[in-house]
């Protein structure tokens, strides 16, 4: 798989072990894991942070293997809803941070180009999420609203 905005190829990373059942050393029951996920999501913790906390503090290597459901499905079942998808909010946070940098450093052409690439990724994701029904049709991206939403 190649990268989106460069002609280089991607780097290989570590892969999860191919298994379809939870390890026997996991001490929490599926209901306990679901309650932990719902509690942390209700507090506003992102899905990736929840996974890290469960892995490091509770020794749960994979929520899907333990519960049979993804974290998104668990949150939907418990009635916890995020206003924006995590990948979109992370890109918006990067764009807001980079716009502050480019205002103080207007001659930094490399980061101005990086800002353009980030905003094109955001527009592409918004189009996808509107098509899938995750975002309403009237939702539009602008840097000013992004600064308000991610702060």
Write the DSSP string, 107-137.
Answer: T-HHHHHHHHHHHHHHHHHHHHHHHHTSS-T
Q: Are residues 102 and 142 in the same domain?
A: yes
What domain range includes position 106?
86-150
Q: Which residues of the chain have pLDDT under 50?
A: 1
Q: Where are the beta strands (DSSP E) in the chain?
A: none
> Does any domain span residue 145?
yes
> Does any domain span residue 64?
yes
**Reduced to 3 states, what is the DSSP secondary structure of residue 73?**
helix
Angle at 69 between CA 64 and CA 73, to 5 degrees: 125
Instruction: In whole angstroms, give the CA distance from residue 77 to residue 74.
Output: 5
Q: Are residues 95 and 132 in the same domain?
A: yes
> Does any domain span residue 1?
no
Over residues 25-66, the pLDDT tens digits come to 999 999 999 999 999 999 989 999 999 999 999 999 999 999
Indicate the pTM of the whole model: 0.82
Q: Are residues 122 and 145 in the same domain?
A: yes
Residue with tokens 């979109």: 88
**Count of domains in the chain?**
2
């Amino acid at each position: 798989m190649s990268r989106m905005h460069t002609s280089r190829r991607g780097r290989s990373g570590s892969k999860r072990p191919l298994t379809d059942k939870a390890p026997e050393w996991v001490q929490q029951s599926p209901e306990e894991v679901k309650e932990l996920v719902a509690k942390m999501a209700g507090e506003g913790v992102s899905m990736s942070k929840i996974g890290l906390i469960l892995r490091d503090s509770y020794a749960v290597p994979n929520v899907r293997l333990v519960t049979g459901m993804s974290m998104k499905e668990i949150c939907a079942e418990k009635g916890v809803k995020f206003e924006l998808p995590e990948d979109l909010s992370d890109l918006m946070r990067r764009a807001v941070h980079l716009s502050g940098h480019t205002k103080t450093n207007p001659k930094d052409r490399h980061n101005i180009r990086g800002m353009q690439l980030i905003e094109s990724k955001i527009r592409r994701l918004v189009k996808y999420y509107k098509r899938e029904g995750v975002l309403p049709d009237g939702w539009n991206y602008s840097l000013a609203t992004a600064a308000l939403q991610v702060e």
